[in-house]
């Protein structure tokens, strides 16, 4: 399979390009049954001309009609292809990168494939309450599977040992599911899932940047 490179996009982001943009919709906590709490969520994947996507997810508990009740949580992080470090990579910290990119074309990025249709990826996700996760996984077309290899927890964090996430495009919507193991000896349990619609622009949506989020005052218009 030959990878197509979207115009003006850093070559390394081509396998993740279908994520770029803003997404909003509803989901459920736990098993996703009618008795589980409902949440409304906005997810933004943003590129800055660098070989990573910035990830931000803002979630609110809501009623079945999508009336917002109260803030639930916010996640932030960065997603990229998993590969060896090069002089062209920024950091640690603010250490400047070499001006010449490590991968300058789609052909260069092809060398990172696991197989005919898989690229290795990594994601860091940080939560309120001193919890940070380092994920590794694969992207195959418009589908992603991730497993948290490392979890850093502070005193504010509850029981949380490891996690797995899957994401994919289903009928034009971004579907995701998050399973969590609370302890090393426990089994993974459904934590949350959602189906999100793509917003036409950054300013669209009920949780768009700059929106005043007043609980109970939002409708579906």
Show binding-site residues.
Answer: 33, 191
Contacts of 41 (CB under 8 A, 6+ apart): 24, 25, 26, 27, 57, 58, 59, 60, 194, 196, 207
Dist. CA 38–CA 100, nearest whole Å:
47
Dist. CA 190–CA 159, nearest whole Å:
15
CB contact at 8 A, 8 and 183: no
Dist. CA 180–CA 57, nearest whole Å:
18
Phi, psi (5° rounding) for residue 98? -60, 145
Neighbours of 61 (CB within 10 A): 16
| 26 token code pair | 């509803």
Dist. CA 67–CA 62, nearest whole Å:
5
Alpha helix positions (H), the chain: 106-110
Known binding-site positions for heme b: 33, 191
């Amino acid at each position: 399979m030959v990878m197509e490179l979207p115009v003006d996009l850093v070559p390394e982001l081509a396998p993740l390009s279908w994520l770029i943009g803003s997404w909003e919709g509803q989901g459920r906590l736990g098993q996703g049954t009618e008795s589980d709490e409902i949440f409304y969520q906005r997810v933004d994947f943003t590129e800055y001309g660098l070989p990573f996507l910035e990830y931000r997810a803002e979630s609110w508990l809501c009623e079945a009609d999508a009336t917002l009740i109260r803030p639930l949580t916010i996640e932030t992080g960065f997603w990229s292809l998993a590969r060896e470090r090069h002089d062209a990579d920024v950091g640690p910290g603010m250490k400047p990168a070499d001006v010449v990119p490590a991968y300058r074309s789609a052909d260069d990025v092809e060398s990172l494939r696991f197989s005919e249709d898989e690229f290795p990826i990594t994601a860091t996700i940080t939560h309120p309450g001193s919890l940070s996760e380092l994920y590794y996984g694969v992207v195959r077309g418009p589908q992603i599977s991730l497993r948290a290899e490392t979890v850093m927890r502070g005193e504010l964090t509850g029981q949380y040992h490891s996690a797995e996430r899957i994401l994919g495009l289903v009928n034009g919507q971004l579907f995701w599911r998050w399973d969590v193991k609370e302890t090393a000896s426990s089994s993974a349990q459904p934590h949350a899932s959602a189906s999100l619609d793509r917003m036409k622009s950054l300013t669209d949506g009920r949780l768009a940047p700059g929106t005043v989020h007043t609980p109970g005052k939002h409708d579906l218009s």
